[in-house]
Amino acid sequence: MNTQRILFIGAGRMAEAIFSGLLTMSKEHIESITVSNRSDEARLDYLKSTYDLQVTTDWKSAVAHANVIVLAMPPQAHEPLLKELAALTAGQLVVTVAAGIGPSYLEANLPANTPAAWIMPNTAATIGESMSLYAVGQHVTDEHEEVLEMILKGMGEAQKCTEEEVHNLTAVTGSAPAFLYYFAESLIDVTKKFNIDDETAKQLVVQMLYGSVAMLKGGTEPSDLREQVTTPGGATAEGLKVLQNHDFATIIDEAIAATNKKARGN
């Protein structure tokens, strides 16, 4: 792979997760990283003093030098920005991380034949543990895919999908972490009812989740792990029965469906 000259438009948490991963894991493939926002110079000063990169508040002047452009700004900022970008691009790979903005939208708003891609990390990207999804447009070559894989590798694991699949699965990989944190909050609250202080309650629940996830990562089927904990007719089985009586699986199904409905603007 040739070395890459990457321009970030947007300098927030997601941009930082991407370029910090790149600089840690793939520095030999990076010729330059330029990061831009519209006006927050303090943020740019912080990034420049922390990472090996250039900063600017004038992204337009940096487009010609870049061979990859990463859009790391809010979804609603894309339409006006793409109008300006369309006049300046010359075949660069354009990648967005914005919710709901697939490669077909980028292609429709950029010059013909522009290679376009959509990557959808989750918040664990900031610690290199994302489960990211990505989809590519019609003009993405094998070499572009290598660049995308390099970007994604810096944030954790990634799964290539169709554009439609990214729309459907972002609820699972991007939003369901909030469901899991809600489960953790609820369990911590219950733990505190037994006269346990906040810190200890949190420690009990967090390590329980961490160990359980490590068991899952080991590859054993979730249902087998559940059965290992659940003696038939025992105490855990009584607790699970409550979840089943409240149709836990249906609640999860409905939560994912509601997330997708909203994400599609319905």
Q: Is 77 annotated as a binding residue?
A: no
Task: Establish if 75 lies at the interface with ligand NAP (CB under 6 A).
Answer: yes
The alpha carbon of residue 110 and the mean position of all alpha carbons in its chain are separated, in whole angstroms, by 24
Cβ atoms of 82 and 110 closer than 8 Å: yes
Question: Is residue 201 a known part of a binding site?
Answer: no
Q: Is 13 in the site for ligand NAP (CB under 6 A)?
A: yes
Q: What does the alpha-carbon distance between residue 19 and residue 176 come to, in Å, rounded to a whole number?
A: 25
CB 139 within 8 A of CB 114: yes
The rounded distance, in Å, linking the Cα atoms of 103 and 114 is 10
* Cβ–Cβ under 8 Å, residues 166 and 96: no
Among 81, 209, 215, 263, binds ligand NAP (CB under 6 A): 81
Q: Is 79 in the site for ligand NAP (CB under 6 A)?
A: no
Give the residue with the Cβ less far from ligand NAP, 74 or 239: 74
Looking at residues 119 to 178 of the shown chain, list those that interact with ligand NAP (rule: CB under 6 A): 120-123, 174
Tokens 């943020």, residue located: 43
Residue of the chain from 27, 38, 226, 262 that contacts ligand NAP (CB under 6 A):
38
CB 136 within 8 A of CB 144: yes
What are the tokens at 58? Answer: 């004038």
The nearer residue to ligand NAP, 72 or 205, going by C-beta atoms, is 72
Q: Give me the least distance between CB of 114 and ligand NAP, in Å please.
A: 19
Annotated binding site for NADP(+): 9-14, 72-75
Q: Which residues bind ligand NAP (CB under 6 A)?
A: 9-15, 37-40, 72-75, 77, 81, 97-99, 120-123, 174
